[in-house]
Amino acid sequence: MVVGLSAATLQGAPVVTQDVDLWFEDLGELSISRALQEVGAAYVPPSNLNPPMLAGAGAELFDVVLRMDGLGTFAAELKNCVDIPLGRHHLKVLSLERILASKIAANRAKDRLTIPVLRDALAATQSVKRRSKRQ
Amino acid sequence: MKERAHSANPAQAKRWARRLTLRVKEVLAAHPHADPDNVRHTLILLEQPPLERLQRSLIRGRAAAIFKK
């Protein structure tokens, strides 16, 4: 599932981000290591000094997220995802409402900067959805 | 809003801008505390494909990080 500001930007929020945060239900899943192998990358488990990460040129844009502040379990939040088409695939992307909830719960300095922008983006996207339903 | 901001036709561009202003006003009427710039930028981004939105965000985010170093 794509989470964080990259998920927000996929849904139209005018925010910038340095990487794409990915939240996995089970990092031990074989399909993950196969996909990483295909792009010459590997999963590096967390250690004392480093958070869990994806290493290798094909994975440099991506970060691994193990838990999300203020949110439910992966399975519960999967219900709050939007499907975004990407070529032959559909990306599971955490909804703007839930991204906002996680930023409010995390409440770090950098989160506090994005909260008003996410709130306004949510208002704008909801208005667009309402308008397209009426038409 | 089918006519984009970067339309080659000035008349189309003006129509697009007028419609955008109306949409921003509509959102602000329902959410008076929202920032008009945030609303306007969101409405413009919603006209772009999702992957392009992400690409733009990453390019800007990464460039900003490089300048910080």
Render pLDDT for A11-26 as a digit per residue (tens, 0 to 9). Answer: 999 999 999 999 999 8
Angle at CA of residue A132, ends A127 and B1, nearest 5°: 85
Residues of A in contact with B42 (CB under 8 A): 12-14, 120-121, 124-125
Q: Do A14 and B41 touch (CB under 8 A)?
A: yes
- How far, in Å, CA of A96 to CA of A10, rounded? 10
Q: What's the whole-number mean pLDDT along residues B28-54?
A: 96
A6, B50 Cβ separation under 8 angstroms: no
- How far, in Å, CA of A7 to CA of A27, rounded? 20
Look at phi and psi of residue A16 and say left if phi exceeds 0, alpha if psi is from -120 to 50, else beta: beta
Q: A88 CA to chain B: closest CA distance, Å? A: 13
In terms of C-beta density within 10 A (0-12 exposed, 13-18 middle, 19 or more buried), how is residue B29 classed? exposed
- Which residues are bridge partners to A54 per DSSP? A43
- Longest CA span, chain A: 55
- Whole-model pTM: value is 0.90
Q: Do B57 and A9 touch (CB under 8 A)?
A: yes
The owner of tokens 């005018």 is A14
Q: A21 CA to chain B: closest CA distance, Å? A: 12
Write down the pLDDT at residue A27: 87
**Which uninterrupted H or E stretch holds A119?**
helix A109-134
Residues of A in contact with B27 (CB under 8 A): 123-124, 127
**Mutation choice for B interface testing from A94, A115, A127, A129 by most B CBs within 10 A:** A127
- Which residues are bridge partners to A55 per DSSP? A42
Task: Please name each of the domains of chain A with its CATH number.
Answer: 2-134 (3.30.460)
pLDDT digit string, tens, across residues A90-135: 999 999 999 999 999 999 999 999 999 999 999 999 999 998 888 7
A130, A123 Cβ separation under 8 angstroms: no
A22, A1 Cβ separation under 8 angstroms: yes
- How far, in Å, CA of A107 to CA of B47, rounded? 30
Q: Do A16 and B57 touch (CB under 8 A)?
A: yes
pLDDT digit string, tens, across residues A45-85: 888 888 889 999 889 899 999 889 999 999 999 999 999 99
